[in-house]
Amino acid sequence: MKCPYCGYLEDKVIDSRPTDEYSAIRRRRECNRCMRRFTTYEKVESIPLMVIKKDKTRQPFDREKLINGLLRACEKRPVSVDTLEKLADEIELQILNSLKREITTKEIGEMVMARLKDIDEVAYVRFASVYRQFKDINTFMEELHKLLKENEKLKGNEQKKDSEQS
């Protein structure tokens, strides 16, 4: 750290403590040349995560929009708000851990659908119908057929495991 008084680049930390809000660390330093003391603050750099929409516009990631979309898809379904909060947390964490600073709505939608399918199939189809913008009943039916095939495959695997264990 450069001394604000003499410009020397070496100092020692006398004291470190978190700020009142725990959002930064306050450090008291002493310059090794002029012996004067000064305070620095260290905090996490937050770069906003940007979402690239279908029309190529960008806007900051908004967790509330994600929650609202999930709530609409799960309306009148046996899915708790806590489950949706956890799902939103998982998706947000996955996005942040990817270290990308920009993500498309398509990528977010795929993450949601992959998880929602395991939580509630009706909510999954509702979300998919809006997200994939089903144009007609045939597109809707194609998605339902895919879901049914996956279910049959899973049931077949479970029955196979059961018979192997017997």
Q: Is residue 144 in a domain? A: no
Asked if 129 and 54 sit in the same domain, the reply is yes
- Asked if 107 contacts 79 with a C-beta cutoff of 8 angstroms, the reply is no
Residues of the chain with pLDDT > 90, as a percent, come to: 46
- Asked if 28 contacts 13 with a C-beta cutoff of 8 angstroms, the reply is yes
Domain span at 69: 50-133
Q: Is residue 34 in a domain? A: yes
Output 138 or 14, whichever has higher pLDDT: 14
Which helix (H) or strand (E) segment is 29 a member of?
strand 25-31
Entry pTM: 0.59
pLDDT of amino acid 157: 67
Q: Is residue 155 in a domain? A: no
Asked if 56 and 120 sit in the same domain, the reply is yes
What residue spans of 74-120 are helical by DSSP H?
81-97, 105-119
Q: How many residues does the chain have?
A: 166
Asked if 65 and 128 sit in the same domain, the reply is yes
Q: Degrees (nearest 5) of the Cα angle 55, 97, 94?
A: 65
Strand, helix or coil for residue 94: helix
Asked if 77 and 127 sit in the same domain, the reply is yes
Q: How far apart are the C-alpha atoms of 134 and 128, rounded to whole Å?
A: 8
Say how many domains are in the chain.
2
Asked if 27 and 74 sit in the same domain, the reply is no
pLDDT of 11 strictly over 70: yes
Q: At what angle do helices 121-131 and 137-165 cross, to 10 degrees?
A: 150
Asked if 38 and 56 sit in the same domain, the reply is no
Asked if 32 and 58 sit in the same domain, the reply is no
Structure tokens at 10: 């070496």
Asked if 116 and 85 sit in the same domain, the reply is yes
Q: Is residue 142 in a domain? A: no
Q: How far apart are the C-alpha atoms of 26 and 43, rounded to whole Å?
A: 9
pLDDT of 166 strictly over 60: no
For 36-89, what is each residue's pLDDT tens digit? 999 999 988 777 889 999 899 999 999 899 999 999 999 999 999 999 999 998
Output 62 or 125, whichever has higher pLDDT: 62
